[in-house]
Amino acid sequence: MSAASSPAGFTVSSAWLAEHLDDPGMSVVDASWYLPAQKRDARAEYEAGHIPRAVFFDHDLVVEPGSSLPHTLPKPEVFATHAGSMGIATDDTIVVYDGPGLFSAPRAWWMFRVMGARKVYVLEGGIDGWKAEGRFVTAKPTKVAACLFEVDFAEDRVATLAKMRDVVADATSQIADARPPGRFAGTEPEPRAGVRSGHMPGAKSVPAMALSVGGKLLPTDRLRAAFEAAGIDLDRPVITSCGSGITAAVVTLALESLGHRDNRLYDGSWTQWGGLPDTPVVTGKD
């Protein structure tokens, strides 16, 4: 089967997806996930109405079994089992979406890419935008034919706790923190019990929600300006971080869209760092 034609960049419009929805080799993934404060049930919304062909990607299930952290990247073989059970192959054209457009979908986009898929895209505007445009959704279960997902794990795109300790100690990479400014500064509490407020020494605040409008990435010039205003040098390595590894991928998506390739995502993110007793934490805007 021939794959769907590949668009430029890492995002696709609803019009593009609607046109290519029936292409051979197309996989559509609902990767919606919400914080408790958002009061949305991702799976219930999927079951009530999703984009045709979409399968549900559960961020709380596609994780490393037994991890004490909420969204630990699974081992390659574990991810391959999940992806294959969803009927997704490595060489498929994979379009991932969430509710508002750029919240949790980039995390699944990053996971598929770090596990070896190359034609992975995020749907601009999410399913909220899809519905607002009057496009068709269905509650009919998607028929899935399990397949083999062949992993080619890019381990160098994942930052571990040990790596972050070295980075903080030696400032070998820049750290872009995607959490809201109040949590970064330590003026607002973390949503998870036992996790300190503040940020890693040397980290820069790059709120994920400031990189998009209407569920779409900002235009290139505004994206570049946002990173520069945050103190991020796009000619140097960057490690992205957030609360649990979800919205850090929004920053990763923005970096990649600007052509920045020397980046990693800190998978444990602030839940790991702020939950340990011996990691340095600072407060304030800088």
Which residue in 62, 65, 64, 59 sits closest to 46, CA to CA?
59
Amino acid symbol at 255: L
| Annotated catalytic residue 147 | no
Catalytic residue (choose from 242, 246, 248, 254):
242
Please report where in the chains the tokens 């219930």 appear, as a residue: 44
Amino acid at 12: V
Where does the chain show beta strands of DSSP type E?
11-12, 26-30, 54-56, 93-97, 120-123, 158-159, 174-177, 204-205, 212-213, 216-217, 238-241, 263-266
Phi, psi angles (nearest 5°) of residue 40: -130, 140
Nearest to 253 by CA among 221, 213, 208, 200: 208
CA 248/CA 241 separation, integer angstroms: 5
Sequence-separated (6 or more) residues with CB below 8 Å from residue 153: 76, 114, 115, 116
Catalytic residue ranges:
242
